Amino acid sequence: MGNTIDRRQPRLEDVAARAKVSHQTVSRVINNHPNVSSATREKVEAAIAELGYRRNTAARSLVTRRSQTIGVLAAEMGQYGPANTLLGVQQAAREAGYFVSIEAIKEAGADAISDAVRHLTDQGADGIIVIVPHDGTVQALEGLTLDVPVILVGAAGGGLFSGALVDQKLGARLAVSHLIDLGHRRIGHVSGPQDWVDGRSRAEGWGERLREAGLPDDLLIEGDWSAGSGYRIGRQLAAERTATALFVGNDQMALGLLRAFSEAGVRVPDDVSVVGFDDQPESGYFTPPLTTVRQDFEELGRRCMGAMLNALEGGAGAGTIMVEPELVVRSSTSAPA
Amino acid sequence: MGNTIDRRQPRLEDVAARAKVSHQTVSRVINNHPNVSSATREKVEAAIAELGYRRNTAARSLVTRRSQTIGVLAAEMGQYGPANTLLGVQQAAREAGYFVSIEAIKEAGADAISDAVRHLTDQGADGIIVIVPHDGTVQALEGLTLDVPVILVGAAGGGLFSGALVDQKLGARLAVSHLIDLGHRRIGHVSGPQDWVDGRSRAEGWGERLREAGLPDDLLIEGDWSAGSGYRIGRQLAAERTATALFVGNDQMALGLLRAFSEAGVRVPDDVSVVGFDDQPESGYFTPPLTTVRQDFEELGRRCMGAMLNALEGGAGAGTIMVEPELVVRSSTSAPA
DNA sequence: GTCCCAATTGTTAGCGCTCACAATTGAATC
DNA sequence: GATTCAATTGTGAGCGCTAACAATTGGGAC
């Protein structure tokens, strides 16, 4: 075996010669075409194995005009949510025989988005998944006239694009309902930035649920998702002591709040109950362990890729994939004093 | 303008026709060949702009045998470290005109690694960056006969592959030195799994530094990187109270420890000092804020990609990129009681 | 003006694959 | 044995690009 040491990669024709068939027959075997006799198929498969043949993706892409590549555009790719969504996308893509090409942007401006998308289409991406949960993303994309399916993560579908998101409003309602059920009447919200879709949805869900219960919805402070902003807001809240419970836009800000409360001698949950959002792996080990709303980012990513595959096969586009969040009750919430 | 509404993408020849030159001249302009008169160049560039021409990557790859794609293989891609390393790689790749294709694996077994690498080379990746910090990764790769440069993140270079890593031993020594300087004499280590390269290096650095100082190095407990394992170990340590200071393998386990100590009434840092490793964005907001060793993952990724570019241009391979960690002192450490 | 050489431009071939179509085979029917 | 038809296999072209080489141009040196 193996007397050809430094020849280049075998190609279709080499396999064909070895199996004594035409290159087209080999192509048929590779692509699982039905009309190949099993004897021929075996011969060809043997030749492929002997030669260690691997199909050349570039040549295939050139003629099929398909790259088998999905482009993923992400802001904040180092963060827990986007990173795990990406993971889910990649897993599903792999199973379907697709490659995943990534593009990270630092600022979610229209130019950055447009450049990144351009880069992805230059590579011949068959579809694009956009994980940029800011306002303005849709507009930035709409100006772009793309001829591949686009799925927006964290936004509802409609118009030109499909969407995939965890039901943020539902998550917020779960959190607030939990606090109401415990007996809280003054429930504040430390929100994410209001120019982020998620930040706004959570705030809306919070407000809606409070109004339904006939409770005041005037206690809203905007943070920037970071633990630092949570800490600053926490110091302020510790001084004011207006609410008996707080729904916080994500677990990182909740951590900052917890820290600030601890410093100020405000006990959680005895003096104030706190609910977070995301359920990062660490949240169960905060002091105290955090009651929070779990988002399954990996699942989101997988289903997103599912929708993409569907769109690539000519299925209906512009729908919305919705993943349900789940309340995880731990020790940072209790009935008011 | 734009009277061609549903024609397919323009190609080299269309641009050539419009600019009244040969397709080869257009190719020269695109590739910045020197011998093109500026008049011709301008004509061609105008035609490119008018037609909105974009080069077809597949066709180019087919003939050049270069895909301009770097494959990144990562285990634990959703974690802070790998996700941010990936981010750094992507940024540097983009600047150099490369695409980044990702491949995540769930289990770091030899088969999974080999499959993933295969998938990446099938796509024609020009180089592969491997972020799989387990023992056995090198062996798994060595069995693979790859004809593209490979860089291992989190391992020293040598043999067939280059390496890129944060100096784990140095990090551990910084942490232990800090504790020694504070006056601690019984310094334990909660390590990561010892079949992870990083876990072992940190433990080695801890042991070495202790022995240099003539202190006992017998207090080592192995965790699994998770906050949960830190919590369990913390409960045990709280009961034993053998050490006055603990160097913990990462911030997540440190968080678990902090939680366990808090429950057991062990005060940090008054009763026990704790140092973590990684410096995740949240670590400054733990209770108490965590003294830890910062690793700059993004920088690691960027330099890794730098080494890759160098290798792709025929530069020397098999070196080791070393990024220095840095001690960040916060409130979880103090002099022993 | 002629020659020469460098700078610039054009021509041809082919990268490895799939598509559309043509050719062959072999069993079933008369 | 001739005819038909489906199943199987083969042939030719071309996807859009770059590399190698060929052809053309223009400006000095003589």
pLDDT in tens, A99-119: 999 999 988 889 999 999 999
Q: Tell me which residue in B61, B282, B287 faces A262 most closely, judged by beta carbons.
A: B287
Q: How far is B170 from chain A (nearest CA, A)?
A: 25
B30 touches chain A (CB under 8 A): no
Q: Which residues in A199-309 belong to E strands, given as ranges?
A: 220-222, 245-248, 273-275, 292-294
- Please tell me the predicted confidence (pLDDT) of residue A247: 98
What whole-number distance in Å separates Cα of residue A325 and Cα of residue A275?
14
Confidence of residue A3 (pLDDT cuts 50, 70, 90): very low
pLDDT above 50 (res A217): yes
Cβ contact, residue pair B78, A61, below 8 Å: no
* B92 within 8 A of B302, measured Cβ to Cβ: yes
**What 3-state class would DSSP assign to A205?**
helix
pLDDT in tens, A270-309: 999 999 999 999 999 999 999 999 999 999 999 999 999 9
Query: Mean of the per-residue pLDDT values for chain A?
Result: 92
Which helix (H) or strand (E) covers residue A178, if one does? helix A168-182
Q: Which residue bears the tokens 């960027």?
A: B302
pLDDT in tens, B191-219: 999 999 999 999 999 999 999 999 999 99
Strand C: which positions are within 7 A of a protein CB?
A: 7-12, 14-20
**CA end-to-end span of chain B:** 80
Of B179 and A1, the structure prediction assigns the larger pLDDT to: B179
Q: Which residues in A175-222 belong to E strands, given as ranges?
A: 187-191, 220-222
Looking at residue B53, its amino acid is Y
Taking the CA of residue A46 and the C1' sugar atom of nucleotide D3, their distance in angstroms comes to 38
Give yes or no for CB of B194 within 7 Å of strand C. Answer: no
Q: Report residue B292 as tokens.
A: 């830890």
Q: Are strands A69-75 and A127-131 parallel, antiparallel or unpaired?
A: parallel
- Please tell me the predicted confidence (pLDDT) of residue B318: 63
Query: Mean of the per-residue pLDDT values for chain B?
Result: 92
Nucleic strand C contacts from chain B, 11-50, CB < 7 Å: 20-25, 28, 34-37, 39-40
pLDDT above 50 (res A311): yes
B267 touches chain A (CB under 8 A): no
* B181 within 8 A of B212, measured Cβ to Cβ: no
- Please tell me the predicted confidence (pLDDT) of residue A8: 73
Q: How far is B57 from chain A (nearest CA, A)?
A: 6
Confidence of residue A158 (pLDDT cuts 50, 70, 90): confident
Interface probe for A, chosen from B87, B121, B233 (most Cβ of A below 10 Å), is: B87
